[in-house]
Amino acid sequence: MASPARIDTHQHLIPPTYRKLLDERGLTAGGWPTPDWDPQAAIAMMDRESIATGILSLSAPGVHLADDAQGRTLARQVNEYHAELVKGRPDRFGQFACIPLPDVDGAVAEAVHALDVLHADGVVLLSNAGGKYLGDPDYETLWAELDARSAVVFIHPTEPPIQMLKGLPSPLLDYPFDTTRTAIHMVANGVMSRRKRIRVILSHGGGFLPYAAYRFVGAAQFNPGTTPEGIMADMKRFYFDTALSSTPAALPSLLAFANPTHITFGSDFPFAPSSHQFNAALDAYPLDENQRYAINRGNAEKLFPRLAAS
């Protein structure tokens, strides 16, 4: 039975001006066609799928599409559009603000503006920016600012710096790999151990991190200052959404690995035309009522207290 009030931490927006820019430049999310989107369609979907609130984010390819100056301008435009959308319907929408990595100075400035001025619910980071992954030392000033604000950080995959295989667009095949790659990069480089106040949500059940977590502790052999126990502890600090991952094959691994308070519901609307099937699989999966409520809503309420049921 579906919760009447899910909080969706993996839902996207596509502002009209951003969509127009992508179309003009022939850009897509890793070869995946850009779907239609508008706020009314999002609310209609949420009503059908028992979703009270969607925390929206911009998906790949993000806002750094040309030079740093254009990336900063586009990030501000998208975030201000997004903030107005949330201001009009704070009950239905939330905001993961976008930032223009790999422009670190621009990203820090936009994150501070979004969190302190626009009062965004968190920020979204793509798994890599031009091939630079999120554990890179160059990003330390950004992590410091996010940690100072106890920010919620949503990591969404993007196209990795490898050749796409014909007939297999990146969102279909490569995205789970890139989420996993950046998460382990963050752990091996100490981001998760140094920045204890950030809460980081990994897309799509964490890629294959839960499935292969015990393999990844071997990174301690190659990263001085780390231990297998520390790597495992830092991997368990991540949160994981259920977008495209609530199947009888994926859920057992996720539930076996993740802290039970660290799993949130995700739809991946409007990029996932099969999201209803995944939602139905989650509803049909044998969970006790406390687990079901926690995934559908309770865990997200702790991340976003403004959405807590009164």
Inside any domain, residue 1? no
**Is a pLDDT exceeding 50 seen at residue 132?**
yes
Residue 221: CB atoms within 10 A of its CB come to: 9
Q: What is the pLDDT of residue 309?
A: 72
Residue 220 confidence (pLDDT) above 50:
yes
Percent of the chain having pLDDT more than 90? 97
* DSSP calls for 171-206: HHHHHHHHHHHHHHHHHHTTHHHH-TT-EEEESGGG
Q: What is the pLDDT of residue 1?
A: 45
In tens, the pLDDT along 226-259 reads 999 999 999 999 999 999 999 999 999 999 999 9
Q: Is residue 300 part of a domain?
A: yes
In a domain? residue 206: yes
The per-residue DSSP string of 235-283 comes to HTT-EEE-TTT-STTTHHHHHHHS-TTSEEB---TTT-TTHHHHHHHHH
Is the pLDDT at 171 greater than 80? The verdict is yes
The model's confidence at residue 4, banded by pLDDT at 50, 70 and 90, is low
Q: Token match 């009888």: residue?
A: 248
Residue 281 is part of a domain; what is its CATH number? 3.20.20.140
Cα 105 to its chain centre, rounded Å, is 22
Residue 221 is assigned to a structural domain of this protein = yes
User: Taking all residues of the chain, what is their mean pLDDT, rounded to a whole number?
Assistant: 96
Q: What pLDDT, on the 0 to 100 scale, is given for residue 198? A: 98
Q: How far is CA 139 from CA 93, 98, 105, 247, 305, in A?
A: 29, 15, 10, 35, 28
Q: 244 to each of 55, 60, 237, how far by Cα in Å?
A: 16, 17, 21
For residue range 190-217, list pLDDT tens digits in order: 999 999 999 999 999 999 999 999 999 9
Domain extent for 119: 6-307
Count the residues in the chain: 310
User: Is 275 part of a structural domain of the chain?
Assistant: yes
For residues 15 and 113, give the distance between their C-alpha atoms in angstroms, rounded to a whole number.
19
Residue 73: predicted pLDDT: 98
Domain assignment of residue 69, yes or no: yes
Q: Which residues contact 236 (CB under 8 A, 6 or more apart)?
A: 257, 258, 259, 262
pLDDT of residue 274: 85
Tell me, what DSSP letter sits at residue 152? E
Q: What's the pLDDT at 209?
A: 98
- Give the pLDDT confidence score for residue 183 in this predicted structure: 98
Q: Give the chain's domain count.
A: 1
Domain membership of residue 20 (yes or no) is yes
Residue at 299 is within a domain: yes
pLDDT of residue 16: 97
Q: What angle do CA 87, 70, 171 make, to 5 degrees?
A: 75
